[in-house]
Each structure stands twice: as C-alpha cells, then as structure tokens.
Amino acid sequence: MVTARASYSRIRTALEAIRDHPGLALQVVAGASAVLERYGNVAAIIERDGFAITARVHMMLEGENLMAMAKTTGIGLMELATVFDNLQPDIVVTVADRYETLATAVAAAYMNIPLVHIQGGEVTGSIDEKVRHAVTKLADYHFVSTEQAAERVRRMGECPDRVFVTGCPSIDLAAKVIAGTSLDFNPFIRYGGVGADLDISNGYIVVLQHPVTTEYHRARRDVWETLSAVSRIGLPTLWFWPNSDAGADGTSNGIRAFREIEKPANIHFFKNIGSEDFLRVLLHCRCLVGNTSAGIREGSFLGVPFVNIGSRQAGRDRGANVIDASYESDQIIAAIETQLTCSRFPGETIYGSGDAGRKIADLIASVPLTVDKRLNY
C-alpha cells in the first residue's frame, strides 16, 4: 500500500525486488494523497517507474485537520477491506507511521491477512509515534531499519523470530545516487514549480517542512519563521510542498501568503519531484532545512548538513550531520550559517547500506503465511 510520496521512496526498491523475485507476484495499491494531483500525483510517478497499479483507493477527506485525519483513517479502513477482499493477497506490506498505514494494518489484521510492517520500532515526535507502535502490535512480521528499532519491537512483546533488521529501502536509492558526480538535470525545466528563476550553479539550500499534527494550530506561524530565515539568508532555495497531515492548510497558506507579501527573490517552490531526483538535488545542496526524516535517514548516509527544526523528529536515531533549531527565524538562521561552514559530513550507515529492498523481498518469499500471534508469548 503506497499512500504518499514519502512512503513511495521508503518502499520503491522493495517493490522492484518483489516484482523481479521468481517466487512473488506484486500487487500495488495506491491511495490517499498518492492519487491526488494537488500532492503531485505520486501514482503517475509510480507508473512511470514501471509499476502497474492494481487498485486505487480514494480516501482523503478535505480539511487537513485532526477530524479529517481521523475520518480519513475510517474511510481508508472501509475501502481497503473491499480492496483486500477483491485482491485476496497472501500477505500485505505497509510502511512507516501515517494514518493511512494504520488503516491498512487494521484492515489486514481483521481479515486474517499476514501483515509486514516496514520501519517499525523507531522513536519520533508527533502522533506518528503512537501510530507506528500501534501498527507494530497489529503486524505479524517486522522489517526494521536499525538494531535499536529491532530491540524496541522485541521489548513490545513481538516474537524475536519475526523481527528482521533489513535497513531502510530509501538508503538503496541514496546508495545509487551517491555514485553520481553532478546534478545531471535542471529541476526547473523537469518539474516546473513557481517562484523566482534561480541560478543554482554556485550552491543552494533545500527546504522540506511538514506540519506537526500535535502542534497543527501553529503550522502557519512555524512555516513563516522558516520562510523568513531562508529569505534573509539569501541563498538560492528549492522548497518542496508539505504532506497532507493536519495543519497542511496552515503550512500551504503560509507559503502562499509569504510569496504574495514578501515576494522572495531566492525561493522556488515545487509540488513534487521523483524520489531519485530529489536525492540528487539533496546530495548536491549546501544544506537541508526543515523537519523531514529525509535529513536524518538519507541525509546521514549522503553526509548532507541538515538543520532539523522543531519536535517532529525528536528521538529518532541520527548522525553527525544534524543540528537542531526551534521555530524562531534567528535560531534557524544561526543553525543554517553553522551548517554552511560544513561542505559535507562523512556518510553513515545508521539506516542501512543499500541492500534493503533485496532483503525484504527474500524475507517475504520465505516467511510462513500465518497470523498466529501466540508465537509471541
């Protein structure tokens, strides 16, 4: 089940390995923001990458607030139950910690379909923490990114024989991209976007900031502080649109208002970008700014300096490339200026070394197709 651009990048190499595995047949279900144009139509990117989409699930309720997230989860549960009944999968794979992930997990669990959960056992801020651990308890097999995550899953009472450290599939893409020596495409020509025409040949900043569901009422103020900081820094900046969590309207409205009022000459905004192209852009930037897990996962592997703002990634295992700032423009500026003095950090393999997709496919082909949770005790 692929529900957003982030979840697609987290699972893409596993999808490739499953599709190519002689003992497996792949069915891709796309849903939530992944099938909506306003979030970049990730489904079209999935198809362009060579995957056939078996089913589309329209489940997003407009509003992008707490009630809309809860109701979207419910709609997703109802729709996915129908999809699973039609497709009759032998096993369901879901990734990470979004509300769509929870709907997938509940549907599979109640229908006695074995569930694989990728990226369980991690610690972060926001509601994602609760969702991730809830999905762990609903899942039958746990393919985690780090040994620390594996130990947390075991301490939650899950059977050790069903917990596997595979690394994160997004690192597979990063390993592929890091072999390149230059940014071999023009992001403005390939992806359009809106904002100033920028010369990025002498360096640029990348920004990706999402709303925080437990602090969604502050989303507009928080993004304004980051916009102000980046505008004052003055370096060419590639800014990517937020996800669909509660508070996204505040973040999006803040971006639009800042563009209209302040007319920043150094920022260009993109709705979406292919996962490998995003990593190429990230690899060659001078600094990543925001609250995205990409700064901690892929960023640590690529050695990209990352300014992590706020609480969204609190507690996540991290490398030396990360420094923190609060949602105050002066603090963000100081953190960016510190990171700009670092050309690159040594790459770290906290979240894997580039073979997670193959490991996941091999494991799926070998695990028993049973949902007997009594093995946990």
User: What's the token pair of residue 356?
Assistant: 């997670």
Q: Are residues 238 and 297 in the same domain?
A: yes
Whether the CB-CB separation of 150 and 165 falls below 8 Å is answered with yes
Examine residue 347 and state whether it is found in any structural domain, yes or no: no
pTM of the predicted protein model: 0.89
Q: Are residues 206 and 324 in the same domain?
A: yes
Q: Are residues 214 and 97 in the same domain?
A: no
CATH of the domain at 330: 3.40.50.2000
Q: Are residues 101 and 209 in the same domain?
A: no
Whether the CB-CB separation of 281 and 239 falls below 8 Å is answered with no
Examine residue 345 and state whether it is found in any structural domain, yes or no: no
Whether the CB-CB separation of 205 and 237 falls below 8 Å is answered with yes
* 3 state SS of 127: coil
User: What's the token pair of residue 165?
Assistant: 């450290």
Q: Are residues 56 and 73 in the same domain?
A: yes
Q: Helices (H) and strands (E) in the chain — how many of each?
A: 14, 13
Examine residue 299 and state whether it is found in any structural domain, yes or no: yes
Q: Are residues 11 and 132 in the same domain?
A: yes
User: What's the token pair of residue 77?
Assistant: 């549960």
Q: pLDDT per position in the chain (377 positions), as tens?
A: 898 888 898 899 999 999 999 999 999 999 998 998 888 789 999 999 999 999 999 998 877 788 988 999 999 999 999 999 999 999 999 998 988 999 999 999 999 999 999 999 999 877 888 999 999 999 999 999 999 999 999 999 999 999 999 999 999 999 999 987 678 899 999 999 999 889 999 999 999 999 998 888 999 999 999 999 999 999 999 999 988 787 888 999 999 999 999 999 999 999 888 889 999 999 999 999 999 999 999 999 999 999 999 999 988 999 999 999 999 999 999 999 999 999 899 999 999 999 999 999 999 999 998 766 544 44
SS3 content of the chain, % helix, strand, coil (to 5): 50, 15, 40
Quote the CA–CA distance of 203 and 16 in Å, as a whole number.
Answer: 33
Q: Are residues 52 and 24 in the same domain?
A: yes
User: In terms of residue numbers, what domain contains 72?
Assistant: 5-168+352-376
Residue 128 CA neighbour count, 13 Å, CB half: 27
Domain count, the chain: 2
Q: Which helix (H) or strand (E) holds 135?
A: helix 128-138
User: What's the token pair of residue 190?
Assistant: 């390939």
Q: What is the 3-state secondary structure (H, E, C) of 349-362?
A: CCCCCCCHHHHHHH
